[in-house]
Amino acid sequence: MLEAVNLGLNLGKAEYKPRLRSLQRHLHELQRACRDAQVGTVVVFEGWDAAGKGSSIRKLTERLEPRAFHLHAIRAPRTHELHLPWMWRFWVNIPSWGKIGIFDRSWYGRVLVERVEGITTPEQCERAYATIRSFERMLADDRYEIVKLFLHISRDEQRQRLEHIEADPLTAWMVEPEDWQHHEQYAEYRTAIELMLERTETEWAPWTVVEATDRYWCRVKILSTIAKQMEAGLRRRGVEPPAVPKTKARGK
Helix/strand/coil (H/E/C) assignment for every residue in 1-64:
CHHHCCCCCCCCHHHHHHHHHHHHHHHHHHHHHHHHHCCEEEEEEEECCCCCHHHHHHHHHCCC
Backbone angles phi, psi at 89, to 5 degrees: -70, -15
pLDDT at 245: 84
17-73, pLDDT tens digit by residue?
999 999 999 999 999 999 999 999 999 999 999 999 999 999 999 999 999 999 999
Whether the predicted pLDDT of 125 surpasses 90: yes
185-216, pLDDT tens digit by residue?
999 999 999 999 999 999 999 999 999 999 99
Whether the predicted pLDDT of 246 surpasses 80: no
pLDDT at 248: 64
What the chain holds in terms of domains, given with CATH numbers, is 11-236 (3.40.50.300)
